[in-house]
C-alpha cells in the first residue's frame, strides 16, 4: 500500500485527482438541480456521493490506463450518477471478492485434502 499512497500524492496525480473530483462535482450539481426537491442536506449528500464516485472512477481509469479525455468523461458521468455508480461498484466488488475467496478456499481445500491423505 505504500506505493499506492505515494503514487497518489505525487503533484501531477494530485492535480489530476482534484480535476476529476471537480468534474464529478459538476455532474452531481447538474443532477441535483434537475430534481424538484432542494434541501441543503440533500445537496451536501449528493455532492459528497458525486465527488467520491468520481474519485473512484478516476482511480479505475488510472489503473486501466484510459486517456485523460475519456477519464474526464467517465468522472463526469460517475459524478452525475453518484449513488448509482457506488451501488454498481459495490455489487461488482462483492462478486469479485466472493469469486476470489472461492478460488482461495478451493486451493486451501486441496492443500488440506493433501495433508489429510499424507496423515492416513
The residue extents of the domains of the chain are 2-119
| Per-residue pLDDT at 64 exceeds 90 | yes
Which pLDDT does position 65 carry in this prediction? 92
How far, in Å, CA of 64 to CA of 61, rounded?
5
How far, in Å, CA of 14 to CA of 101, rounded?
33
Percent of all residues in the chain with a pLDDT value above 90, rounded to a whole number: 5
How far, in Å, CA of 109 to CA of 48, rounded?
43
- Half-sphere exposure (Cβ direction) of 49: Cα atoms closer than 13 Å: 20
Give the three-class secondary structure for 42. Answer: helix
Mean of the per-residue pLDDT values of the chain: 79
pTM value > 0.75:
no
Average pLDDT over residues 89-97: 88
How far, in Å, CA of 110 to CA of 120, rounded?
15
Residue 103 DSSP code: H
Q: Which residue has the higher pLDDT, 110 or 18?
A: 18
H/E element, 90: helix 83-119
| Per-residue pLDDT at 1 exceeds 50 | no
Average pLDDT over residues 41-64: 88
Average pLDDT over residues 74-101: 87
Amino acid at each position: 500500500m505504500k506505493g499506492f499512497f505515494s503514487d497518489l500524492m505525487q503533484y501531477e496525480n494530485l492535480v489530476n485527482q482534484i480535476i476529476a473530483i471537480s468534474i464529478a462535482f459538476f455532474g452531481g450539481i447538474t443532477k441535483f438541480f434537475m430534481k424538484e426537491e432542494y434541501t441543503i442536506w440533500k445537496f451536501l449528500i449528493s455532492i459528497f456521493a458525486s465527488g467520491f464516485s468520481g474519485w473512484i472512477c478516476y482511480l479505475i481509469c488510472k489503473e486501466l490506463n484510459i486517456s485523460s479525455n475519456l477519464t474526464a468523461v467517465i468522472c463526469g458521468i460517475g459524478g452525475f450518477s453518484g449513488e448509482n455508480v457506488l451501488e454498481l461498484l459495490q455489487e461488482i466488488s462483492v462478486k469479485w471478492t466472493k469469486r476470489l475467496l472461492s478460488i482461495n478456499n478451493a486451493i486451501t481445500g486441496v492443500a488440506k485434502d493433501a495433508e489429510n491423505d499424507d496423515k492416513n
